[in-house]
Amino acid sequence: MSGRRILFAGTPDFALASLRALCDSGVTPLAVFTQPDRPAGRGRKLKASPVKEFALSKKIALHQPESLKDTDVVKDISELQADLMIVAAYGLILPQAILDLPRHGCLNVHASLLPRWRGAAPIQAAILAGDEETGISLMQMTAGLDSGPVFAQQSVRIGDTESAGELLDRLALLGGEMLCEQLPDILDGKLEAQPQDENSVTYASKIRKNDAAMNWRKSATELLRQVRAYTPVPGAFFDVDGEQVKCWSAEIANGQGGTVGTVISAGRNGIDVACGDGVLRMLELQRPGRGRISAGEFTDQTSIMGRRLD
């Protein structure tokens, strides 16, 4: 692997796991590309991405273009004469002009078992669909959306109570491990990428905040998946007295339901809400601008028993 000219493109913690694994294995990228600093937090101050902070700590050359379509950016990447660009949750579309530059093209670390869940939110989509497993795919990038041939895959079982954040952490580590294991054979041409089955394609759309709104007409099973899929971001929520209250954890409760959306039990063990089918017990909640609290603490603060939630 010595002497190989590797570029890396990624932005969040998921990408950081792959970059860190590369560096730990002795493969330090020639340059790192990450998204520009974005406003974050209550103060909306500019915040560097996890990938940027790591690259700076390792003194790796850093690039933060607003777009990869700029001819100057294409020229800069061309001058690096890379053997391969590794991409993990970068957040910017790579045009064909970029895909064609590295000698071995561009390799994507994708958090699903392609062709299932192409797109922006594969982890959340897998939980929402009730999939029993997901995994990591190392894919040769093409101009289509996650449509390139796949070099390697490894599956993991999705835990019955696992949130998207917890699953992301596991998959991030797995992606880094697979990348380091398979990279030598990919660069040496010993591993041939296999085309995806176009008849089995599903898509995971980008998440919008309103997707996380809890519709009590759904079944308790569907709502529990929603809570898990949208934890920690953007957070499944419902309205109480004009406030959007987040539900951080929940479980299916035993017993009969009632009028859809009605709180049929509230106390130390949780807040039980009648759903379109079954009963959802909310265990941990959060009001806007406050910390997470137990359902028992929430019921001490708010008279919610018998109320119909929006």
| Strands 243-253, 118-119: pairing kind | unpaired
Residue 37 token pair: 């600093």
Domains detected in the chain: 6-204 (3.40.50.170), 209-301 (3.10.25.10)
Category of 278 on φ-ψ map: left (φ > 0), alpha (ψ -120 to 50) or beta: left
Give the pTM: 0.94
Q: Please answer whether residues 226 and 236 qualify as being in contact, where contact means their C-beta atoms are separated by less than 8 angstroms.
A: yes
pLDDT band at residue 18 under the 50/70/90 scheme: very high
> What b/e sequence results for 269-278 when a residue is b if at least 16 CB atoms lie within 10 Å of its CB, and e otherwise?
ebbbbbbeeb
User: Rounded to a whole number, what is the largest CA-CA distance in the chain?
Assistant: 68
* Residue 74: predicted pLDDT: 95
The model's pLDDT over 28-60, given as tens digits with 9 standing for 90+, comes to: 999 999 999 998 777 788 899 999 999 999 999
**E strand intervals along the chain:** 6-10, 31-33, 38-40, 45-47, 61-63, 84-88, 106-110, 118-119, 133-140, 150-157, 203-204, 236-240, 243-253, 263-267, 270-274, 279-286, 292-294
The answer for residues whose C-beta is within 8 angstroms of residue 263's C-beta and 6 or more apart is 271, 272, 273, 304, 305, 306, 307, 308, 309
pLDDT reading at 107 higher than 70: yes
pLDDT band at residue 2 using 50, 70 and 90 as cut-offs: low
In this prediction, residue 1 carries a pLDDT of: 56
Tokens standing for residue 17: 């796991």
pLDDT digits (tens, 9 = 90+) for 240-295: 988 999 999 999 998 777 899 999 999 999 999 999 999 999 999 999 999 999 99
Strand 270-274 with 279-286, pairing: antiparallel
